[in-house]
Structure 1
Amino acid sequence: MQGTVDGFSYGLVTPVVAYLMACLGGALGLRCTTRSLLVARSWRAGWLALGSAAIASGIWTMHFIAMMGFTVEETPIRYDKLLTFASLGVAIVMVGIGIFIVGYRGATGTALFTGGTITGLGVASMHYLGMASMSLNGKLEYNTLTVSASVVIAVVAATAALWAAGQVRGFLWSVGASLVMGLAVTGMHYTGMAALSVHLHSTSSTPVGDSTAALLAPMMIGPLVFLCLAGVVVMFDPLMVMGKPDWTPKDNKPGIPAHPAVPHPGSRPPLRPGRERGRRSSRTPQNW
């Protein structure tokens, strides 16, 4: 017996909120990745790690907000806590690997293809591992062709996003890229959901695990707080927002001050007009 699947039990509320979360995580992650390409190499890892966590948190939050609107009419749905946490960990690790490749090798050629593929597979792995965390009185079945399409969407979206992080410098262009990325990631999610069908078991049993409200709502507090903190970092770093490189001395030659108002170490203040260092005063004692 096939179950009656509904992915929009709250109407457009869950898809719209899920899309906004994907855009938020994508925007923060892209700005952090862009910022990593504009700083000294010693600081790059920190920005890339922040960007990876922001993108992964946004995608994971998007997924489970959308899952709050997913129901099967004939059976309650429960979630396994360990697998749910594992899906977030997989997203952070795989997205991080892809972003670090692009961050250190550049958003071109083989590095972009490799980083985009790993990041996209991380997004898809997070989605299907999150689906595997569901427990219900039935068996989940997937259409192979539709699943393949969802994975392709994830890889293409991730590659385009990483290309934008490496090429786009303007703030408005980055916002546009994050909107497209959010649309692609959300589209990947609902494409994957379209591949799902539920074959109900003949005997009725109570699924093991936590309910949607009891598990997902508290679990999303952490990623949401993290995204807010990452947003604060973006807001208070004008260079990250505008995508401009750090200021550096024009020629970086010895003897040139690091800042016009700060004298170079070892330099002496300029002499006043009419004075010479070491010159005796014009008023000298008379000889007796």
Structure 2
Amino acid sequence: MQGTVDGFSYGLVTPLVAYLMACLGGALGLRCTTRAMLVSNSWRPGWLALGSAAIGSGIWTMHFVAMMGFTVAGAPIHYDKPTTFASLGVAIVMVGVGIFIVGYRGARGTALFTGGTITGLGVASMHYLGMAGMRLNGALEYNTFTVAASVVIAMVAATAALWAAGQVRGLMWSVGASLVMGLAVSGMHYTGMAALSVHLHNGSGPTGGDSAAELLAPMLVGPLAFLLIAGVVVMFDPLMVMGKPEWSTLENKPGVPAHETVSHSGRRPALRPRRGTGHRGSRTPQNR
């Protein structure tokens, strides 16, 4: 028997809140990616790992906020905990691989394509693994073409977001990138849900697991506190807000020697010998 599926049982509330969560996670994660490109290699892995965790958590939270509004008439929905938490791990790891590629190789060419593709596949993998953890008295079936379209949406939008993050510009530029990232996650999710049909089994069967509310409610506290702390860090870190290192402003100040600035790669350029010192035959104070 074909089940009646409703993905908007709370109207626009769950889609809007889900999109907001995806944007918040994307804003933090992409900003950390931009920040990583402005520091030395010793600090870069930490910023990239923080960005990966933020985006992965935002994707996961977005998915299950959206699933709060998903119902099937006559079939209570529950979730298997191990599979659900595995989907969170997959999201963080795969997004992390993509972000590390862009963070170290740059947001252009092959590195951008590879990083964006892996990040988009991470979004899709999280979604469909999360759906595999859903338990109800029925079978899930997907339209292959629509599933493929959802994966393409995720890869294209994720690539665009990583490209924007790699431009190393101001805060508003990263806000725009986070909106694109939120669009990638939400667009992929609802396109994937459009590919879904449910065939109910006759009678009532076991549907062990936790409901969406029981599973998600305890998990919301952590991500929201995490985003709050990250927001404070962004507000008080000039590199995060301005999108450019503090030393870039020194280059234009009179009286600041060029050898006191730092290159965009995080390394100090080679010192230029000053006239009158350090050269054979030059006059030094000692030779006067």
TM-score, length of structure 2 as denominator length: 0.85
Moved over 4 A (4+): none
- Residues of 2 paired with 1:151 and 1:250: CA distance? 51
Question: Any residues of structure 2 matched to 1:1-288 within 5 Å, and which?
Answer: 1-247=1-247, 250-252=257-259
Gaps of 5+ in 2: 251-255, 261-288
Equivalent residue number for residue 269 of structure 2: none
Larger mean CA deviation between 51-60 and 214-223 belongs to: 214-223
Q: Write the letter of the residue equivalent to 1:63.
A: H
Quote the offset at 1:69 in angstroms: 0.4
Query: What are the Cα deviations for residues 190-246 of structure 1, in whole angstroms up to 9, with x where unaligned?
Result: 000000000001231231111122112112322222222222221221211110124
- Residues of 2 paired with 1:163 and 1:127: CA distance? 23
Quote the offset at 1:174 in angstroms: 1.6
Q: Is the Cα contact below 8 Å between 2:160 and 2:180 reproduced in 1?
A: no
- Residues of 2 paired with 1:219 and 1:133: CA distance? 17
Equivalent residue number for residue 256 of structure 1: none
Quote the offset at 1:168 in angstroms: 4.7
- Residues of 1 paired with 2:161 and 2:123: CA distance? 13
Give secondary structure in 1 for the equivalent of 2:15: helix
Q: Is the Cα contact below 8 Å between 1:56 and 1:95 reproduced in 2?
A: yes
Larger mean CA deviation between 8-17 and 241-250 belongs to: 241-250
- Residues of 2 paired with 1:19 and 1:78: CA distance? 23
Give secondary structure in 1 for the equivalent of 2:166: helix
Q: Is the Cα contact below 8 Å between 1:58 and 1:227 reproduced in 2?
A: no
- Residues of 2 paired with 1:52 and 1:228: CA distance? 17
Q: Which has the larger radius of gyration?
A: 1
Q: Is the Cα contact below 8 Å between 2:238 and 2:246 reproduced in 1?
A: no
Give secondary structure in 1 for the equivalent of 2:42: helix
Give secondary structure in 2 for the equivalent of 1:220: helix
Closer, same or farther: CA 207–221 of 1 in aligned 2, 3 Å: same
Q: Is the Cα contact below 8 Å between 2:37 and 2:168 reproduced in 1?
A: no
Gaps of 5+ in 1: 254-288
Q: Is the Cα contact below 8 Å between 1:18 and 1:186 reproduced in 2?
A: yes
Quote the offset at 1:185 in angstroms: 1.6
Q: Write the letter of the residue equivalent to 1:24.
A: L
Query: What are the Cα deviations for residues 25-79 of structure 1, in whole angstroms up to 9, with x where unaligned?
Result: 1111111101110111111111111111111111111111000000001100000
Matched-pair identity in %: 82
Q: Write the letter of the residue equivalent to 1:232.
A: V
Quote the offset at 1:21 in angstroms: 0.8
Figure out how many residues of one structure are paired with residues of the other and give that number: 253
Give secondary structure in 2 for the equivalent of 1:38: coil
Q: Is the Cα contact below 8 Å between 1:39 and 1:246 reproduced in 2?
A: no
Q: Write the letter of the residue equivalent to 1:171.
A: L
- Residues of 2 paired with 1:246 and 1:97: CA distance? 29
- Residues of 2 paired with 1:86 and 1:2: CA distance? 29
Q: Write the letter of the residue equivalent to 1:225.
A: A
Q: Is the Cα contact below 8 Å between 2:98 and 2:115 reproduced in 1?
A: yes
Quote the offset at 1:250 in angstroms: 4.1
Quote the offset at 1:165 in angstroms: 0.8
TM-score, length of structure 1 as denominator length: 0.85
Equivalent residue number for residue 275 of structure 1: none
Q: Is the Cα contact below 8 Å between 1:38 and 1:246 reproduced in 2?
A: no
Equivalent residue number for residue 280 of structure 1: none
Give secondary structure in 2 for the equivalent of 1:11: coil
